[in-house]
Amino acid sequence: MINYFEFYNIPESFILDEKALKAKYYQLSREYHPDFYANEPQQKQDEILQLSTQNTNAYRTLSDPDLRIQYILKEHGVLEEGKNELPSDFLMEMMELNEELMELEFDFDAAKLHEIGEKSSGLMATMDNDILPVLQRYPELHGVTKEEALQEIKTYYLKKKYLLRIQETLSKFAARS
């Protein structure tokens, strides 16, 4: 299966022109629409169906910033099942947030819930700001190898996933109160 960036004939990047991506998706959707190939031999119909499916999957992946990061990291073999370690200071911070959330389970406190929410949102905003220059410059990096940049983006991605789980728990608490 062809790489999604190659499929759309665009350079690999973490930050894409959303309008151009959507235009390419619609162009290929028309080009590979199975109905236009109904009278073709079965082999051609199968090929078009495969291209149509690839177009949908490529657009779904590349149009979502988190899925796009995950896709690029996997394409470069940086994101591997079970081999994704986070810095211990971050894990300690998350452990403290999780403990605070467990305490809320037994002794709900709206102010504490708000405080945890602010803390996790602040962490997320700081992480987003810190990684943005790397995402913008990739793959044209100065003073950093592509591999180092991908490792930095991987750490950001994994931290973000962790924080999103905490924010999901927070929203469940908020829904109950």
What is the DSSP secondary-structure string of 60-106?
Answer: HHHTSHHHHHHHHHHHTT-S-TT-----HHHHHHHHHHHHHHHHHHH
Percent of the chain with pLDDT over 90: 80
**SS3 of the chain: helix, strand, coil, percent, to 5:** 75, 0, 25
User: Which residues are CB-contacts of 10 (< 8 A; sequence separation ≥ 6)?
Assistant: 16, 20, 21, 24
Segment 17-22 shows an average pLDDT of 96
What are the sequence ranges of the domains in the chain?
4-63, 88-176
Tell me how many degrees the CA angle 111-120-157 measures, rounded to the nearest 5. 165
What pTM value is reported for the model? 0.88
Per-chain mean pLDDT for the chain: 92
For residue 8, pLDDT beyond 80: yes
pLDDT of 13 over the 90 cut: yes
CATH architecture of 88-176: Up-down Bundle (1.20)
Residue 164 three-state SS: helix
Tens digits of per-residue pLDDT, 90-137?
Answer: 999 999 999 999 998 888 888 999 999 999 999 999 999 999 999 998
Under CATH, which number does the domain 4-63 receive?
Answer: 1.10.287.110
